Structure 1
């Protein structure tokens, strides 16, 4: 019941990370019927294309061996040389067909998934030796599908073989009286016909089995809502932790900003909301924003400015514009040079007057 509940909880489609992890573990879509189809199709192609060359490639060395049997040395070296020559001849005759069969076997796997190098399936697990798990494999959905698939293939292929061979029954009876050379040609023709039909029918079985195996694999990868949340936390970070980090950064920035307010030359404000602290010294290319804020932070900037006798100038549009366009420790934009220069010039003039009076 617990296993059924776990399966029922997995209602969410798998993420790309979940699918990639399954691939790394070696948990991939695997349709044995598709692999079998590729091998049978390749064997049919080899038979129709290379049967003559394979036969002649093997027949000629054997014919020469029989014709020149009196020349064979019966010592160890002679027999070894003869066996080596026959082996080379057989390899030369069947080498290319064997390569085609190996490529077909690889193609059957690579069509379903990319190549995977994983030792995960080889690790010993209790589920592999558990009687309960073995019973589930014997009587589960996969076993039922394999049984039905086997019956279907047996009935289908048997019917096709009967349909092809029944009209040839009289001809097959006469094969007992044919010359071996003629017998080989007739047998080869019937074999090609049978294998071509088998390839066509097994293609339907292979496609159906692949779709079923893919669906089963995809269902296994489904996730519960909690698993989706956990994966999001792992990949994107815990939202609570990220919020706390953001809060700490803002607090540090606020402290650094308030510590820089006493270095400001002037505070430009909108009395109700905005405050922007600008610092300027002779030789600087343009004034620099050392602090800015709205509402409570803006009032705090003004409070620190009053405590350090920093001039506060009210300019509503300039305060709003500077707050929106300039960042901390950045120079003011060019379009505000003139307005800020007038204010700083006014402030520096006031300071000179105060110094002269003192």
Structure 2
């Protein structure tokens, strides 16, 4: 029903997704004149090149009529006769019919890629709506079909007159010709007529396809509201995306806070940043297990105090680590020396505390 709606608000060119969706529904730009041209061109080609093979069925049919009195009508012989005639028909008409089939398929493939859809077969109320019927009768499509039919009628009449009028005397004299010469004459005139018709219909087919494509494209145009809806469907609703981002941040925060008690040291800028690092012997470099700014930084320091994790104030290093290292990543090489001094200092403190306890 969307195609029947008012299109005055549809000012935007259709997106590729909208065009693909229309194709999947079987709604494509298609001109019957293109199909007609291919079929007539195929028939002309068949007559001009394979008329001899089509005439090959003449011999078995002539023999059948000439020797009809000798034909046995019992079961096996009659079946054999039918089988021989069938093979003769297939041999004579198989290739021409195949060429016509190829021409019909080519006429569709040239206009659009193959469509496998039953959407157009579904019943729609718009097809029996009086208003929709009136639009079809008095719309642009109806006017174009009328003009196209009138042009073909006038042009075809002119072409037939131009070809047959000079031959009128010979056509009158055909009554006195030998029967064997008449098929050749008729074939020649037929090929002349069909060649002229093919040339004339080529212009009609091109013009009609351009018109049909333009009409189809205009029906596929979109309003701003439709474009926004499609963007939401393809890119996701911003509200949903925002909610998903909040959930991811909440999960990441929870995982960070659970990892803080395993940290070796907290490097902090007391007013803004906290970065929790862990290091054990055998590791190639310290790893960031948590980081945060403002309230999260305060929470990291609070958990660290609860679990006696050393907190070291180093403003420039805290800022640099917060900006350059991500969770579960090793610290950058340029910070190895500064972090190594801090971790060495912290480990020294731990060893001193352990010695005093002993």
TM-score, with length taken from structure 2: 0.89
Which residue number in structure 1 is paired with residue 234 of structure 2? Answer: 235
Which is worse superposed, 157-166 or 83-92?
Answer: 83-92
By how many angstroms is 1:339 displaced?
2.6
By how many angstroms is 1:123 displaced?
1.9
Per-residue Cα deviation, 1:177-219 (whole angstroms, up to 9, x for no partner): 2222222222211111111111111011111111111111222
By how many angstroms is 1:245 displaced?
1.3
Structure 2 unaligned residues grouped into runs of 5+: none
Map residues 285-300 of structure 1 onto 2, 5 A cutoff: 285-300=284-299
Which is worse superposed, 71-80 or 6-15?
Answer: 71-80
Once residues 306 and 52 of structure 2 are traced to their aligned partners in structure 1, the CA distance between those partners, rounded to angstroms, is 105
Per-residue Cα deviation, 1:225-254 (whole angstroms, up to 9, x for no partner): 222222222222111111111122212322
Which residue number in structure 1 is paired with residue 350 of structure 2? Answer: 351
Q: SS in structure 2 opposite 1:7?
A: coil
Which residue number in structure 2 is paired with residue 327 of structure 1? Answer: 326
Which residue number in structure 2 is paired with residue 156 of structure 1? Answer: 155
Which residue number in structure 2 is paired with residue 114 of structure 1? Answer: 113
Q: CA RMSD in A?
A: 2.6
Which residue number in structure 2 is paired with residue 50 of structure 1? Answer: 50
Once residues 186 and 78 of structure 1 are traced to their aligned partners in structure 2, the CA distance between those partners, rounded to angstroms, is 39
Which residue number in structure 2 is paired with residue 187 of structure 1? Answer: 186
Which is worse superposed, 32-41 or 112-121?
Answer: 112-121
Which is worse superposed, 64-73 or 307-316?
Answer: 307-316
Once residues 97 and 73 of structure 2 are traced to their aligned partners in structure 1, the CA distance between those partners, rounded to angstroms, is 32
Which residue number in structure 2 is paired with residue 34 of structure 1? Answer: 34
Once residues 309 and 59 of structure 1 are traced to their aligned partners in structure 2, the CA distance between those partners, rounded to angstroms, is 108
The answer to whether residue 102 in structure 2 is matched with residue 103 in structure 1 is yes
Which is worse superposed, 311-320 or 37-46?
Answer: 311-320
Once residues 80 and 138 of structure 1 are traced to their aligned partners in structure 2, the CA distance between those partners, rounded to angstroms, is 54
Per-residue Cα deviation, 1:287-335 (whole angstroms, up to 9, x for no partner): 2212112344334434444555433333344333322332212332444
Map residues 209-220 of structure 1 onto 2, 5 A cutoff: 209-220=208-219
Q: Per the alignment, do residues 4 and 130 of structure 1 end up closer, same or farther by CA in structure 2, a change over 3 Å counting? A: closer
Structure 1 unaligned residues grouped into runs of 5+: none
Once residues 111 and 35 of structure 1 are traced to their aligned partners in structure 2, the CA distance between those partners, rounded to angstroms, is 9
Contact 2:3/2:219, CA 8 A, preserved across alignment: no
Which residue number in structure 2 is paired with residue 135 of structure 1? Answer: 134
Which is worse superposed, 204-213 or 273-282?
Answer: 273-282
Map residues 161-180 of structure 1 onto 2, 5 A cutoff: 161-180=160-179
Once residues 340 and 73 of structure 2 are traced to their aligned partners in structure 1, the CA distance between those partners, rounded to angstroms, is 113
Q: Per the alignment, do residues 105 and 4 of structure 1 end up closer, same or farther by CA in structure 2, a change over 3 Å counting? A: closer
The answer to whether residue 23 in structure 2 is matched with residue 15 in structure 1 is no
Which residue number in structure 1 is paired with residue 68 of structure 2? Answer: 69
By how many angstroms is 1:149 displaced?
0.5
Once residues 43 and 107 of structure 1 are traced to their aligned partners in structure 2, the CA distance between those partners, rounded to angstroms, is 14
The number of equivalent residue pairs is 356
By how many angstroms is 1:102 displaced?
1.0
TM-score, with length taken from structure 1: 0.89
Q: SS in structure 1 opposite 2:222?
A: coil
